[in-house]
A = this chain, B = another copy of it.
Amino acid sequence: MRLGTCYYPEHWPQDMWADDARRMVEAGLSRVRIGEFAWSRIEPEPARFEWEWLDQAIEVLHAAGLGIILGTPTATPPKWLCDKMPDMFAVDADGKVRGFGSRRHYCFSHLGYREEAARITRALAGRYGEHPAIIMWQTDNEYGCHDTVHSFSDSARDAFRLWLADRYGTVEALNEAWGNVFWSMEYRSFEEIDLPNLTVTEANPSHWLAFRRFSSDQVVSFDKAQADILRELSPGRDVMHNAMGFYPDFDHHDLGKQLDVVMWDSYPLGFLEMYAFSEADRHDYVRQGHPDIAAFHHDLYRGCGKNGRWGVIEQQPGPVNWARNNPAPLPGMVRLWTLEAMAHGAELVSYFRWRQAPFAQEQMHAGLLRPDGEAAPGLKEAQQVAPEVERLGDIGAPVKDAALVFSYPSEWVTATQPQGEGLSALWAAFYTYTALRKQGLNVDIVAPSASLDGYAMAVLPCAPIVSGELAERLKAFRGQIIIGPRSGSKTDDLTIPPELAPGKLQWVFDGKVTRSESLRAGIEHQGEGWAGRRWLDHLETDADAELVAGDGTVACWKQGNVRYCATWPEGDVIDVIVARAAEDAGLETVKMPEGLRIRKSGEFAFVFNYRNEARAVPDALCGEPMIGERILPAAGLAVFARG
């Protein structure tokens, strides 16, 4: 694994560049990402390019021995370009134009902007595509950030109509597929179809799902145009994009297919503050982040790429600026995050950013250096971890325990039709992932199309849309299977299948969901050591009722190697189900103490302590670690050699 950093030469005087490059290398970094917001410096006026500074920056970094990841600057078109075509902006669901003044101010469906994006990509790749310093390209930056996947512009509407015509062939087929007879929503032509926003009450969920699919496809095709140019003009270099955390608005499996490497931007403290964590977790992990935030995304994005190549292109090095509250990481966390990425198989961890900028939107975002150029705490940890990374070398292939199947359209279904407060397929996946990790298991988060070979368990936490092909493979799967609520409950167009839920999964599990209900927080169906909460699927089935609450509610049914979790897969109930399934699967589990996590590769077992206090390594891991001690300090870790 390599270490790197994100650098903005255009933010600093040219005479600082060489020293910066030297200090990077001295710190153990060998990769540097540049360029991804620099359009106004590259092309300050229409068609007038200023290459000299970038030529020079690349030379200086190259000369220092750094491999360069060059970004296309399409996330930040300059003002003059926007003024040329003011309809290029995205429009929000309320109809407000999302204008210039920050970033990501373009609509993915605007044909004019697509031409401009291709033009600047071609210009960059033409100039630097074969430069020996350039080892990788990043397309754009964080597609979807600031809720930019869904645009309600006229461009989006026009493109959506074409997309619908392509998908459904005839408007009659669309009316039928969506059930538009309901509420007289039938269309006579594709030209009559608008975007699903600004309706009186909610639009047809089929309409929304189609719009979500379309919007995802627009991101993927926008990206593909750049990837194609880069491959043409920069042969042999990798193409990468930087994904975000807890961000499901486009299908990363689709995107990953056209990339060489999938990377992501890891900000565990910001995510803890901004996403749906409990107050207790936000308190206990305030300077560490919940112990599954980073790992979940490592295991998710590893499954999104073509060959499992992935990395962290932006790693939080200190406090950020964009969360409601922005604490500093506990001393040791930057090192811990780095080695945890390694344990999950990253090929790169790159710290964002090299030096804190004293100006503009991110001036309160820490870097490895302070704004005055002195070392910030993050740099010291990077320097500490670099030789450890080197020493560990090749960690071997990941151990395969459980495959957790997640699909983006699943989340689109629950986002469109939650049916109960806060219910989300993505979060069902996260909670189930936590339950698996609390048993000390390795998890691969895989696409529905991915092979299940070699796993002892397959888990579908909440998969409303399931293909026949997946159902077939599950049927053939000899390990333990867990099927979560709502799975198989919807067709591709978000209608109820004729056979009812779990739809095609009835090939795997002989039962039928005859009624579902969602429950407000505080309503609990208590079993022994667990409770059914938030959701109940009622089943007609000959399966065994494995978990039955005191009031007779069944939370889990079992039939052969299949368990059906009939309540929301969260907290104690999914812990119990996962533990039973793991035992049946013959997996060696390790009950992890609160806040500890383990990750096993071919060569090593890594243990990470996310608590703000010392913790002992569980006895199941015997012997003395090669890195660290058996008593892990707060934010500490240990690495054991595996037999």
In A177-197, the 8 Å CB interface with B consists of: 178-188, 192, 194, 196
Chain B residues in 8 Å Cβ range of A517 = 319, 326-328
Mask of A194-224 contacts with B, CB within 8 angstroms, 1/0: 1010111111111100000000000000000
* 19 chain-A/chain-B pairs, Cβ below 8 angstroms: A8-B182, A40-B181, A77-B184, A94-B96, A98-B200, A99-B200, A101-B203, A102-B202, A146-B201, A180-B360, A182-B357, A286-B523, A324-B421, A326-B517, A326-B518, A327-B519, A327-B523, A364-B419, A366-B515
Is the CB of A118 closer than 8 A to any CB of chain B?
Answer: no
Is the CB of A376 closer than 8 A to any CB of chain B?
Answer: yes
A420 to chain B, nearest CB (A): 5
Tell me the bound Cα distance from A73 to B184 in angstroms: 9
A39 to chain B, nearest CB (A): 5
Count the A residues whose beta carbon is within 8 Å of the partner chain — how many?
Answer: 107
Tell me the bound Cα distance from A112 to B11 in angstroms: 43
Mask of A83-105 contacts with B, CB within 8 angstroms, 1/0: 10000001000111111111111
Tell me the bound Cα distance from A178 to B11 in angstroms: 12
Given contact pairs A182-B361, A326-B420, a sample of 11 additional A-B residue pairs in the complex whose CB atoms are under 8 Å apart: A8-B182, A41-B181, A44-B188, A79-B188, A94-B96, A98-B199, A98-B200, A145-B201, A206-B360, A273-B520, A321-B419
Is the CB of A37 closer than 8 A to any CB of chain B?
Answer: yes
Q: Judge whether B40 and A201 touch: CB under 8 Å.
A: no
Chain B residues in 8 Å Cβ range of A527 = none
Tell me the bound Cα distance from A315 to B546 in angstroms: 35
Is the CB of A282 closer than 8 A to any CB of chain B?
Answer: yes
Known contacts A97-B198, A370-B514, A496-B371; is A181 also within 8 Å of B325 by CB? no
Across the two chains, which residue of chain B brings its CB closest to A551? B612
Contact of A104 among B188, B201, B207 (CB under 8 A): B201
Tell me the bound Cα distance from A546 to B117 in angstroms: 57
Is the CB of A154 closer than 8 A to any CB of chain B?
Answer: no
Is the CB of A384 closer than 8 A to any CB of chain B?
Answer: no
Q: Judge whether B363 and A286 touch: CB under 8 Å.
A: no
Seen from chain A, the residues whose Cβ lies within 8 Å of a Cβ on chain B are: 8, 10-11, 37-41, 44-45, 73, 76-80, 83, 90, 94-105, 145-146, 148, 178-188, 192, 194, 196, 198-207, 273, 279, 282-283, 286, 318-319, 321, 324-328, 356-364, 366, 370-372, 374, 376-377, 417, 419-421, 495-500, 514-520, 522-523, 536, 538
Across the two chains, which residue of chain B brings its CB closest to A106? B200
Tell me the bound Cα distance from A112 to B340 in angstroms: 64
Tell me the bound Cα distance from A279 to B520 in angstroms: 10
Chain B residues in 8 Å Cβ range of A421 = 324-325
Tell me the bound Cα distance from A243 to B102 in angstroms: 34
Contact of A201 among B78, B103, B419 (CB under 8 A): B103
Known contacts A101-B185, A184-B41, A200-B104; is A179 also within 8 Å of B325 by CB? no
